[in-house]
Amino acid sequence: MRRALALAASPDARTGPNPRVGCVLLSPDGEVVGEGYHHGAGHPHAEVEALRAAGGRARGATAVVTLEPCDHTGRTGPCSVALLDAGVARVVHGQSDPNPVAAGGARRLAGAGVEVVGGVLAAEAEALNPAWTFAVTHGRPFVTWKAASTLDGRVAAADGSSRWITSAEARAEVHRFRAGVDAVIVGIGTVLEDDPHLAVRRGGVVLPREVQPLRVVVGRRDIPERARVLDGAAPTLQVREHDPATVLVALRDLDVQHVLLEGGPTLAAAFVRAGLVDAVRWYVAPALLGAGASALGSAGINSIADALRLRITEVARVGDDVRIDARVLRAEED
């Protein structure tokens, strides 16, 4: 299973609407006869890749797969049927499939006489796809709010200037993080005031459009024709709404699993007020301004008792800045 987990985490295993999955096929005497992993939506699933590598040696083999084989026909056929057709005798899987559309593979395999063992290194398997698991179980994308502020919580100076609060190293890390999400959200106010580009760059070079996250602009005012978010470097969608829940429904319908909220204080406050922030990535620069815009606008929090509580998951130094990663504590986690 650890080999299957490593395959699923391969650098070219793209995130997106489909989970990362790895599969290893073992002969009855324990020899690896085939292995594979899912490269992204539209590509063969991990089980199919492993079966192709194994050929006729798949008959009587054990398939070790990080996620319960799907029982769904989408862009590709069900992996449960592929395993049955290949004559696999035993299936060992990690995470059970939480997606009601695709689940049921273990049941089909067991019903056909295949020995099925589930829950092997399940926590490690689930950790491969936290945003995907969240999205399919909650019916909406996972939301990470990214903010960059001075030590006194300012995101802009009194004159409105905000570039650059954080270091070049922190900004480069943000681009790497952006590359792993499905969409980046800002408000129309940020577009009008700052004209952000929002496309992922590496080494100062904009990555190809096909690997860019969706740029999402929230608000009813028109995007200026010459705005950089309309330059074609990445796909762009305007959601002419103010309600965060409506925005997330629109993105869910586009198979978006993980969004990065990069908007200003007003949009961030709207998401916080709606209870729709799940994690925070905060960069703190060793600087003081004393005045200027705060990172978070009015979020309907009026007392310490009502404060939005976070659980810190990591603290790291990035250049001269400090990054704090945290998860929002829900009532059931208090």
> Which residue in the block uniquely carries the two structure tokens 């790291």?
316
Measured CA to CA, the distance from residue 264 to residue 197 in angstroms comes to 15
Q: Regarding beta strands 321-328 and 310-318, do their DSSP bridges make them parallel or antiparallel, or are they unpaired?
A: antiparallel
Residue 158 zone, left/alpha/beta (φ > 0; ψ -120 to 50; rest): alpha
Contact 88, 58 (CB under 8 A): yes
User: Is residue 284 within 8 Å of residue 209, measured between CB atoms?
Assistant: no
Phi-psi region of 333 (alpha: psi -120 to 50; beta: other; left: phi over 0): alpha
Backbone torsion region of residue 186, taken as left when φ is above 0, otherwise alpha when ψ lies between -120 and 50, otherwise beta: beta
Question: What are the DSSP calls for 274-313, one per residue?
Answer: TT---EEEEEEES---SSS-BSS---S--SGGG---EEEE
Cα–Cα distance between 187 and 270 in angstroms, integer?
11
Cα separation, 274 vs 270, whole angstroms: 6
Q: Express the helix, strand and coil content of the chain in percent, nearest 5 each.
A: 30, 25, 45
115 counts as catalytic: no
Provide the 3-class DSSP secondary structure of residue 141.
coil
With residue 168 as reference, give the H or E element that holds it.
helix 168-178
**Exactly one of 35, 47, 126, 173 is catalytic; which is it?**
47
Cβ 232 vs Cβ 209: under 8 Å = yes
Give the residue numbers marked as catalytic. Answer: 47
